[in-house]
Structure 1
Amino acid sequence: MKQEVAIMWFRRDLRFEDNAALYHAFRQPHPVIPLFIFDTHILDKLTNRNDARVQFIHSVITNMHRQLMRNGSGMWVYYGSPLQVFQQLSENFSIQSVYTNTDYEQYAIERDAGIANFLRQEGAAFHSFKDQIIFDGSEVVKEDGKPYTVFTPYSRKWKALLQSFHLKSYPSGRDMTRFFQSAEHTIPTLAEMGFHAADIPIPSQQLNEGLIAKYNLQRNFPAVNGTSRLGIHLRFGTISIRMLAAKAQQLNEVFLNELIWRDFYHSILYHFPHVRTGKAFKPIYDQIEWSNNEAAFEKWCAGKTGYPIVDAGMRELNATGYMHNRVRMIVASFLTKHLLIDWRWGEAYFAEKLLDYDFAANNGGWQWAAGSGCDAAPYFRIFNPALQTEKFDKNLAYINKWIPELNSFEYPAPIVQHEMARERALQVYGAVLKYKKE
């Protein structure tokens, strides 16, 4: 007779402390198998076999495994198709229930529906919990139940709701002996999965409270160490969003607003599912006639546009997997407005490069820059790279760090002239939006 077990399926919640699904898994009577799957559907799409995110996940999972081994347990780690993994586990165990934290991306929704259906046929329950954001679904909506599409009123409602919503941690890390007692599983190596060690360092998980306290004063200046750099840890759940939001409440409201943006963009995905499938939030913008010049796109990717603030940002991204948030807005505006290249091209490039890549935030940011998103600046607001430099990198400290050849003949001339590009963008956008009015 097969042993009855529950499964805790870790995904974007790679921690034992303050883990919603794990807390609930420990409240049922069966031993809990801690499962992680290196999903081939996701990994096979990665063209860079030195992807620092894969190495980061592998390192975190390895550390979790070592921690469990001290209690006679261990992580059960697979490389393959999630459905096939659950089919294999069901052959060896009588799975009573599976606990996991909700992933809101399109593939994840479809994957989880398939797993839940399989488990249902096996007589097992599939339980999914909110963990990576504070409010999800229809928790923050207008009085008439309709979703917010503008950030400021959404944030006001979010903060009002938080007054009656205690940011309490789940005591999920207390009794590690509840895990299934078996350390027989080994973790697939990076090489076995076709990956290699990356040379991009991972930012610290340590919360710098002094930095957060000054966040509103420093966050817009890319040469200053003024942002938390916690994006990758939020992305993969090595820190708790509840813990971070509680700290932000105490330390800095502007930093708290940045966390609210995460919830806001997830709310947009939930209420407007066409956004999850690559469509513009405002459908009329799907009619824009992009030039999509591949040579210009390659220069943008390589940081060789002749616009120093743009090139510095792209070089920082390529070298570190990170780009300062202010600069992200500048380079996105430049690609969509100056070069008239489809925002989806930039979105995909960021998805490939960013350590903290998150579909909701990445999509939301790109559509904001392109003017096609919710809460977007009007299409006729086009960032002037020179003015942005004057405001946020006046002494060129950031630019000189990433463009050492700035004042030499090696640095390219501007790929396009600002005024010409601005007028062209206004014409192309205007043609579509005027048509809408008629």
Structure 2
Amino acid sequence: MLTNKTIILGITGGIAAYKAATLCSRLVQAGAKVHVIMTESAARFITPLTLQTLSRNPVHIDTFDERDPAVVSHIHLADHADLIVVAPATANAIGKMANGLADDMLSTTLLAATSPVLVAPAMNVHMYEHPAVAQNLQTLVDRGVMFVDPGEGQLACGYVAKGRLAEPEEIVHAIEEWFSRSRKLAGKHVLVTAGGTMERLDPVRYLTNDSSGKMGFAIAEAALLMGAEVTVVAGRTTVEPPAGVKLVQIESAQQMLEAVTAHFETADIVVKAAAVADYRPARQQEQKLKKTGETLTLELERTTDILQLLGERKTHQLLVGFAAETQQIAHYAMDKLTRKNCDLIVANDVSAEGAGFNGDTNIVQLYGKEGLIQELPLLSKRETASRILEVAVQRLPHLPQSRSFGE
């Protein structure tokens, strides 16, 4: 699985740096091309010669030690990496990554990289739990950085607590899992809707909802990491879409309907994560409405049910709908799945703590025609998205690859 994959192994200055030798050896044995970048502090815990011998490649420490005049080393390394692994990652290294600092070879390479990054933190438990470190970790999570959480056990400082570097075998397993996942949707087209729609009353007012777009964008990012071509039809959102998707920006439910149907035929998986308005004003005023009395009555009309329409039209597409409920979750989820001819329904109780709009976590249940498939605990929306797509991939028919967007 790792044969001929180019992996940059970043080693920072903690006592756990000695484990990086085993990690490097395991990756090389698995067939990876490993290029080690060490910080100066790391070189005080383990010698560059050790890593050079194990990786069979020169070890980089000094940004200004340019050995090949034909390339700029940190740019060359960043451009050719399939994955960057930082293990161990100290609190200082994590802080640099989160704040975009680039004052050594490793941090400069990380700032220039476009490949995925996997971080394995290692530090004292109090450092790991410090609010500044927690905030930096969350910043990196929000950017799509992957983590192998530290384990609990005897720390070098004497504490028995969380903070020790994950074992090399665990990190290798996480790397293999990522590369395995990155091929599952290769050649497939995933269509995702995200955010909330806006239904105009007049030029300055509209009806909308609390959807942030975070769940839809997490689905899109997970699909990208699994190798898919991804189109996102997005309404009003509070976060930026992931880089690499084809973004179609819309405002109203009608515009979302038109955009989704335009891309539906070429899609293999369709994930309707957007919160689409069920009703819109029957008349949109051309000028701003003025106050005319103590009350105002609005006449609303139904919008087209996009999910139901797709369920009626689908041929080969795997259709995934969302059901945000506050009661009788299973009943409403299965009813929606049946009525709208979905293949999967992702249901959640938006009144539950950690599962509502705008947050970074979710608690969901996955339903298929046979009933409840999986019940996922409180997870980040990124992890939730990955789990949803894993189930979707298992149910995807083995059909010819979808046509390209230009056909």
- Same fold at TM > 0.5: no
Larger Rg: 2
Please identify which structure carries the higher strand content. Answer: 2
TM-score, normalised on structure 2?
A: 0.26
